[in-house]
């Protein structure tokens, strides 16, 4: 009986080991190679994979004092709400600005771009002169799959290839979602959408 139990435990261990190797092979490590100094993540822990948000997108009860189609960002909660109306909203997990980079106000979505290029603004280059001056849009670009630009500010709602940073204070003032979530939101949002940023 004891030998049979040891055999079962050993077999289970081998299955878990093989599953772990397969899972590890599915990770895309290129984001590490392209960000050795953590310059795109704002010093946040770098992810070892691209995947779903640890904060699942869900429909929730929401205040009626916003119009359907409005976006409400609660930086304290680290959540973005897309207002559906009838007391409901879609809630997304987001990464927000780290200490010293949070802000609040009312803005408008003035532009939308798929797989946007990234040009670090002068303010960021002064802080980090080692940053590239330009990055072509694509899977390794820190803006991710989609970007929605907020007024005349430098801030955006954009995607990220680092799902583990969702729910964290990691950015220079932008709001990041997983690529899956930002694509979902992007398809709902129109240029001219009002964005309320609360602290």
Q: Which residues are catalytic?
A: 158, 174
Q: Residue 183: what are its φ and ψ, rounded to 5°?
A: -65, -45
**DSSP assignment of 141-177:** STTTTEEEEETTSS-EEEEES-GGGTTSEEESS-EEE
Which residues share a beta bridge with 89? 60, 83
Is residue 107 a contact partner of residue 193, using CB atoms and an 8 Å limit? no
Question: In DSSP terms, which residues pair with 118 in a beta bridge?
Answer: 135
Report how far residue 85's alpha carbon sits from residue 83's, in angstroms, rounded to the nearest whole number: 6
* φ/ψ (deg, to 5) at 40: -90, -25
Q: How far apart are CA 155 and CA 76, in angstroms?
A: 17
């Amino acid at each position: 009986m004891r030998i049979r139990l040891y055999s079962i435990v050993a077999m289970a261990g081998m299955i878990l080991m093989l599953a772990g190797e397969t899972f590890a092979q599915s990770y895309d490590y290129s984001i590490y190679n392209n960000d050795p100094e953590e310059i795109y993540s704002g010093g946040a822990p770098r992810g070892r994979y691209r995947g779903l948000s640890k904060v699942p997108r869900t429909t929730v009860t929401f205040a009626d004092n916003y119009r359907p189609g409005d976006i409400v960002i609660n930086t304290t909660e680290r959540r973005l709400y897309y207002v559906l109306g009838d007391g409901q909203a879609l809630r997304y997990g987001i990464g927000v600005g780290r200490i010293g980079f949070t802000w609040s106000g009312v803005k408008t979505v003035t532009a939308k771009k798929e797989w946007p290029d990234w040009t670090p603004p002068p303010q960021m280059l002064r802080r980090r002169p080692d940053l590239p001056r330009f990055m072509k849009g694509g899977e390794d670009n820190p803006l991710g799959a989609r970007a929605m630009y907020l007024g005349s500010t430098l801030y955006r709602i954009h995607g990220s290839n680092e799902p583990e940073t969702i729910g964290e204070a990691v950015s220079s003032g932008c709001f990041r979602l997983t690529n899956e979530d930002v694509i979902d939101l992007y398809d709902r949002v129109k240029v001219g959408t009002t964005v309320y940023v609360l602290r």
